[in-house]
Every structure is written in structure tokens, then in C-alpha cells.
Amino acid sequence: MSGTIISRGEVYVVDDDAATREALSRALRDAGYEVIHFADGAALLTETRVRTPACIFLDAHVEGRPLELLKKLRIEDCPAPIFVASAQANIPLAVDAIKSGAFDFVKKPFCVSEIVARVDAAIGAQIHIESLEGIKQISRRLSGEVRLTKRERDVFAFIAMGKTNKETARELGLSARTVEGYRATIMRKVGARSATDLVRRVLDNGRGD
């Protein structure tokens, strides 16, 4: 008996080119995603108000006004990474797409396997960001006299995710020695003897009763 296939999440696709839409949808489904098509931007906007997809693939000209839908999605705080695609791959359009909140700009025609890989990376990055922010929120709620600065919370988030000093330094644009100093300060404030003890104390304390 075959096992149950677990979806990797929903990807919303808005593209009026049938061949492009079908090829991309097939590749995304093969990669484990559920794909939902929308005939127009209005339908997509309505859906994102009640459900959050893992990612959105949007043709820049689907409504006849480049990037208008993207701007509406960002105004309404849709957190999903959004790919904007266009056959009119000029630099000003690409720049406008990124400034308007696109995660990436894609030139048509494209290789569907490459797009799937980029979708994987975008979703992974989003999960990473959400995990970091969740840990930082917990560390903000430390009780008593223990208070971590913003930079200390940043460093703690990477410690909680098992990152080394070098990895944390690379992510935050600091030197490994500076990160080591932050780690020592955080452990002293919390009264922890090791990284494991530090994470346990902060998460238990920050969650509260």
C-alpha cells in the first residue's frame, strides 16, 4: 500500500498563457506542491484575504497594469514570496517589481525546473525568517531583570537554531569574535552554563505560564 503524499504547500499561479501555466503547474505538482490557478487578479486577491499560500507566481501583465496586483497584495500584508514573470524583461520593469515587493523577477520563457528550484529556495527562506522572528518574539518576553538588546536577540535566534559563531557572524554581517562576545553576554544575563541550557532557559522563561 502506498503511503500518503504530504503536500509541501499551496502555490497560487496567475498567468493567462495556458502553455506556461500548465507546464509550470505540472512541474510544481511533481515537486509536491498543490497548485491553484486563478483566472484574474481579483480572484487571487480575494483568496489571499482568507488563506495564505506558500508562494505566488504572478504574470506582471495579468490585469493589463504591470505590478498593480503585486502592490495590492503587499498593501494587504500577504507574507508569501511572490515571483513576477514577464516576457518584457526590461531592467526598469524588473527593478519596479522588486521595489514593489516581489521576491524575484522571472524572464519568459523560462526553464520550469529552474523555477521550481527557485520556489523551493524562496519558501525555505520564508520559513527561516518566520522561525527566527518567532524565537525573537519569545526572547522579548523574558521576565524579571533579564533584558536582551535587539542585537542580542538576533544572535540568540541563531544560537537557538543551532548555528555556529561563524555561521551567525556571516548571517548578521559581524565578526565571529563579536558574535562570541554577544553569546557570552547573553549567557551571563540568563545565567546559563551552555548553549543548550541557554536555549532552554530563554524559551521556557519567554513563553511564560
The verdict on residue 59 lying in a domain is: yes
The verdict on residue 27 lying in a domain is: yes
Residues 70 and 172 in one domain: no
Say how far apart CA 164 and CA 172 lie, in whole Å.
Answer: 12
Average pLDDT over residues 22-33: 92
Beta carbons within 8 Å of 142's beta carbon, 6+ residues apart: 148, 190, 202, 205, 206
> Residue 167's domain spans which residues?
141-207
CATH of the domain at 153: 1.10.10.10
The CB density around residue 143, as the number of other CB atoms within 10 Å, is: 9
3-state DSSP: the chain helix, strand, coil percent, rounded to 5? 55, 10, 35
- Per DSSP, the residues of 35-60 read EEE-SSHHHHHHHHTT---SEEEEET
pLDDT on residue 173: 86
Residues 48 and 124 in one domain: yes
Which of residues 69 and 28 earns the better pLDDT score? Answer: 28
Cα dihedral sign for 140, 142, 143, 149? negative
Residues 111 and 175 in one domain: no
The verdict on residue 133 lying in a domain is: no
pLDDT on residue 209: 42
Contact by Cβ (8 Å): 41, 69:
yes
| 47-89 pLDDT per residue, tens | 998 888 999 998 877 765 657 888 888 888 788 888 988 887 6
Contact by Cβ (8 Å): 44, 82:
no
Which residue type sits at 161? M
The verdict on residue 2 lying in a domain is: no
The verdict on residue 135 lying in a domain is: no
| 159-198 pLDDT per residue, tens | 877 778 888 888 888 888 899 999 899 888 888 887 777 7
| 114-170 pLDDT per residue, tens | 889 989 888 887 776 667 777 777 667 665 557 788 888 888 888 877 778 888 888
Give the chain's domain count: 2
pLDDT on residue 203: 66
Beta carbons within 8 Å of 50's beta carbon, 6+ residues apart: none
In this prediction, residue 1 has a pLDDT band, given cuts at 50, 70 and 90, of: very low
The verdict on residue 1 lying in a domain is: no
